Homo-oligomer: A and B are copies of this chain.
């Protein structure tokens, strides 16, 4: 009558990487309500509680996702001699990351415990770089806020062509901001 308990004889262990991948698609394919511990477990063919072993609770899951997504922003950014070029690169990649996973960004905003050190790394790197080319301390916040807003707006692009156009508009705005606050000397 009762189904078998415990770890099944042939049971495959679910990989942490798979959890994160599937979680990310659940988050992106819906309106943000698609990612639940139960739905995630079901999609992975596993009991909800087994997830807790790999990623902790829901905030832990979000933090892991945030790490995975935002780490890509820092990867392959060589310390350029040209500060301005490095700033552009960093922000463009960040903007893209937000645009690719807007629901993740919103979820993190609403879940302070989900903040990962990676985002801190990004903003720290940006502030030190910006300190080299401008004396306006608020420029960093302005740039990051705009990356958020514009990145989130990217979600409402109707097709790839429009998304491309919005990306270019962002680049333009970014250049304009840098020009006006830190004119190339």
| Chain A interface residue bracket vs B | 20 to 34
CB pair B173–A141 under 8 Å, yes or no, is: yes
Query: Quick one: closest B residue to A31, CB to CB?
Result: B112
A157 shortest CB reach to chain B, Å: 14
CB pair B176–A138 under 8 Å, yes or no, is: yes
Query: Quick one: closest B residue to A138, CB to CB?
Result: B173
Which listed residue, B109, B110, B112, B146, touches A142 by the CB 8 Å rule? B146
Which listed residue, B110, B172, B180, touches A180 by the CB 8 Å rule? B180
User: What residues of B have a CB within 8 angstroms of the CB of A152 in the complex?
Assistant: 109
A residues apposed to B, CB below 8 Å: 31-32, 106, 109-110, 112, 136, 138, 141-142, 144-146, 148-150, 152-153, 169, 172-173, 176-177, 180-181
CB pair B181–A142 under 8 Å, yes or no, is: no
A136 to B175, CA, bound (A): 12
A84 shortest CB reach to chain B, Å: 17
A158 shortest CB reach to chain B, Å: 14
User: What residues of B have a CB within 8 angstroms of the CB of A149 in the complex?
Assistant: 141, 144-145, 148-149
Q: List 16 A-B contacts (CB under 8 A).
A: A31-B112, A32-B110, A106-B109, A109-B152, A136-B176, A138-B173, A138-B176, A141-B150, A141-B153, A142-B142, A142-B173, A145-B145, A145-B148, A145-B149, A148-B148, A180-B180
